[in-house]
């Protein structure tokens, strides 16, 4: 029997790519609901996808995860959920903390409660590297969200809740790549710190990872991809052969380097091949399942500055690939 899927934040960069992937590859979903609060973005996405042969599978549902009643309606007859809705700008969070709490934390709890009541079979929530050892409000809200989804498995019955944590998505809306693309004509690049490093994942990689996790998660894991990092100055050089650097200073809440697995998390982290999996320490059933995999070393730490780096040549190719997609 074909299943139905709902994606919150379905008009965002990831949401659009995920939906496009499903309908381009003839997924066996009977119905795909795009749930978001911006009717204009839904209008634009409808236009983009309207000529696809599987467009009839799509449903566009205006709603906000802050509104549990609306979620209850949207989740009727849904089997799987991808939770991509969040507000994400690090510096904005420092000045508007309550808005981030309402969406990223209260909204997550609303979705959990509604999913349990609607007997959703599996939910994958998207997180961020900023949730590991957070120093900013956005990261702290996503850490709380992650904890909510992981702990929901303790009382959710047959519902399965898992989390995907990954780094910066190259070329997504608001990403540094998008910002630098606007700088290359003038050759003047504003950066916050010359030593900065970041994890990097493409939209295609993130989509394939979430599809894998949707198929394989057993509930309670935080999945982390094995991906490369880049140095911010190398990214600048990939955009311009002779750039001028304008240092503007660290933004409120910004890190020099990102982290996806802290040393404290390492004690419950397993290497499962293409990914790492952080397990809830209090859940003996899931720990028993993962015994066939190898634990990471005791003092393991997965940081963007202590990682394999993309070369300038590889970054140039990423930029070219991204520009070709926009044509």
Q: Would you please indicate which residues are annotated as catalytic (active-site) residues?
A: 130
The Cβ of residue 69 has, within 10 Å, a number of other Cβ atoms equal to 10
Token pair, residue 323, equals 């520009």
> Could you give the CA distance from residue 15 to residue 66 in angstroms, rounded to a whole number?
18
Between β-strands 269-271 and 275-278, what pairing exists: parallel, antiparallel or unpaired? antiparallel
DSSP H or E segment with residue 216: helix 203-216
Q: Is the CB of residue 111 less than 8 Å from the CB of residue 155?
A: no
DSSP letter, residue 297: P
> Could you give the CA distance from residue 301 to residue 257 in angstroms, rounded to a whole number?
12
> Residues with Cβ < 8 Å from 27, sequence gap 6 or more?
none
> Could you give the CA distance from residue 121 to residue 80 in angstroms, rounded to a whole number?
6
> Could you give the CA distance from residue 230 to residue 184 in angstroms, rounded to a whole number?
18
């Amino acid at each position: 029997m074909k299943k139905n899927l709902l994606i919150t934040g379905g008009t965002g960069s990831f949401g659009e790519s995920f939906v496009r992937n499903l309908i381009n590859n003839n997924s066996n979903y009977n119905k795909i609901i795009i749930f978001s609060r911006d009717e204009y973005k839904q209008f634009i996405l409808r236009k983009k996808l309207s000529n696809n042969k599987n467009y009839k599978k799509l449903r566009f549902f205006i709603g906000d995860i802050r509104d549990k009643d609306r979620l209850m309606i949207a989740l009727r007859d849904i089997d799987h959920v991808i939770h991509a809705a969040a507000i994400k700008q690090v510096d904005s969070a420092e000045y508007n903390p309550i808005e981030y709490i309402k969406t990223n934390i209260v909204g997550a709890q609303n979705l959990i409660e509604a999913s349990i009541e609607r007997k959703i079979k599996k939910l994958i929530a998207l997180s961020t590297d900023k949730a590991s050892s957070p120093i900013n409000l956005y990261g702290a809200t996503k850490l709380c969200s992650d904890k909510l989804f992981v702990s929901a498995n303790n009382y959710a019955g047959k519902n399965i809740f898992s989390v995907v944590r990954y780094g910066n998505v190259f070329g997504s809306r608001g990403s540094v790549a998008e910002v630098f693309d606007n700088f290359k004509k003038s050759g003047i690049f504003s950066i916050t710190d010359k030593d900065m490093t970041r994890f990097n994942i493409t939209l295609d990689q993130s989509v394939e990872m979430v599809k894998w996790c949707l198929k394989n998660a057993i509930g309670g894991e935080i999945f982390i991809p094995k991906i490369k990092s880049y140095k911010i100055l190398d990214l600048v050089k990939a955009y311009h052969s002779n750039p001028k650097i304008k240092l503007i200073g660290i933004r409120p809440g910004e890190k020099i380097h990102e982290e996806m697995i802290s040393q404290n998390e390492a004690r419950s982290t397993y290497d499962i091949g293409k990914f790492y999996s952080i397990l809830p320490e209090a859940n003996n059933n899931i720990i028993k399942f993962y015994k066939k995999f190898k634990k990471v070393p005791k003092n393991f730490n997965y940081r963007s500055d202590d990682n394999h780096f993309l070369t300038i040549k590889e970054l140039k190719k990423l930029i070219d690939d991204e520009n070709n997609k926009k044509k």
